[in-house]
């Protein structure tokens, strides 16, 4: 999977290439991460990437010409057959909030072009003529889109085969499975008066699975009841949830 990031601050992505899981994936050729300095595509010799707003108002606006030229340069390197299947995502607080469905959609593409928004925003023609997805990582405003792009790259990379240790790891993820994760324990069996639940040490795998499933259901009901609307639930899940006071619709 190939990530190309258009940014005014290419150095901020350097740590991702060194960072353990993604660094290893890059070194192993499973993903590639290319940063493109938008200023290098400016048409003046000062590398101007932003300008005042037409109509007046506070804050500068990212100019369209360097961004279009940078995307054209990146696209020229993408095989023609993959070009239309490669999303061009703008990071901005106005975008659709990133969730696992969107991560899965991006992970099924051959690559991604990410445009990191900055200043007051981007010239609207960038949205009109280039952007296929506008993505926010939450309802708060960051100083720039770089951290959001890193979040997207990290979340999407986990679904590139072999990036995470085994496929099992991502399939059993909290959220990916539709429910929050059950509690996890490791040694020691007793720590500061807190014991590992007996069932986990019983060796009875059917009991362990039932306990874990119920813990996931209970935790999801308590912390993220909205997930239960779309989680794949069995009849016995529904009966258990109803015993906890869940009033969700029966199948």
Task: Return residues touching ligand ADE (CB under 6 A).
Answer: 91-93, 117, 136-138, 140-142, 145, 148
Nearer to ligand ADE, 105 or 171 (CB): 105
Half-sphere CA count of 110, side-chain side, radius 13 A: 11
DSSP, res 51 = E
Smallest distance, Å, CB 149 to ligand ADE?
8
**Please, what is the minimum distance in Å from the beta carbon of residue 17 to ligand ADE?**
21
Dist. CA 157–CA 134, nearest whole Å: 19
- Per-residue burial over 219-242, b = 16 or more CB atoms within 10 Å of its CB, e = otherwise: bbbeeeeebbeebebeeebbebbe
Residue closer to ligand ADE, measured from CB, 92 or 220: 92
Cα four-point dihedral sign 32, 89, 181, 228: negative
The answer to whether 39 and 47 are in contact (CB under 8 A) is yes
The smaller minimum CB distance to ligand ADE, of residues 64 and 95, is found at: 95
Provide, rounded to whole angstroms, the least separation between the CB of residue 180 and ligand ADE: 23
Q: Which is nearer to ligand ADE, 87 or 237 (CB)?
A: 87
Toward ligand ADE, which CB reaches closer, 36 or 137? 137
Count of C-beta atoms within a 10 Å radius of residue 101: 10
**Least Cβ distance, residue 166 to ligand ADE (angstroms):** 31
The DSSP H or E segment spanning 238 is: helix 235-243
Residue 90 β-bridge partners: 115, 134
What residue is closest to ligand ADE based on CB? 148
CA distances from 240 to 172, 194, 235 (A): 21, 26, 9
How would you class 119 by CB atoms within 10 Å of its CB: exposed for 0-12, middle for 13-18, buried for 19 or more?
middle
Name which of 80 and 141 has its Cβ closer to ligand ADE: 141
Quote the least distance from Cβ 100 to ligand ADE, whole Å. Answer: 17
Q: Smallest gap, in angstroms, from Cβ of residue 142 to ligand ADE? A: 4
């Amino acid at each position: 999977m190939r990530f190309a990031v258009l940014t005014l601050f290419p150095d901020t992505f350097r740590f991702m290439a060194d960072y353990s899981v993604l660094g290893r994936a890059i070194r192993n050729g499973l993903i590639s991460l290319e940063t493109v300095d938008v200023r290098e595509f400016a048409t003046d010799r000062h590398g101007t990437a932003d300008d005042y707003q037409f109509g007046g108002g506070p804050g500068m606006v990212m100019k369209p010409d360097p961004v279009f030229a940078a995307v054209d340069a990146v696209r020229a390197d993408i095989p023609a057959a993959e070009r239309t299947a490669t999303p061009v995502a703008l990071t901005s607080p106005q975008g659709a909030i990133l969730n696992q469905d969107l991560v899965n959609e991006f992970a099924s593409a051959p690559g991604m072009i990410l445009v990191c928004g900055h200043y007051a925003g981007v010239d609207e023609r960038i949205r009109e003529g280039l952007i296929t997805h506008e993505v926010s990582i939450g309802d708060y405003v960051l100083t720039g889109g770089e951290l959001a792009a890193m979040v997207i790259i990290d979340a999407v990379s986990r679904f590139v085969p072999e990036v995470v240790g085994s496929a099992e790891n991502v399939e059993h993820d909290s959220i990916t499975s539709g429910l929050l994760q059950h509690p996890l324990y490791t040694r020691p069996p007793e720590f500061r008066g807190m014991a590992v639940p007996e069932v986990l040490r019983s060796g009875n795998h059917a009991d362990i699975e039932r306990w874990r499933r119920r813990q996931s259901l209970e935790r999801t009901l308590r912390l993220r009841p909205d997930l239960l609307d779309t989680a794949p639930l069995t009849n016995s899940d529904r009966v258990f949830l109803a015993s906890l006071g869940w009033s969700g619709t029966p199948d």
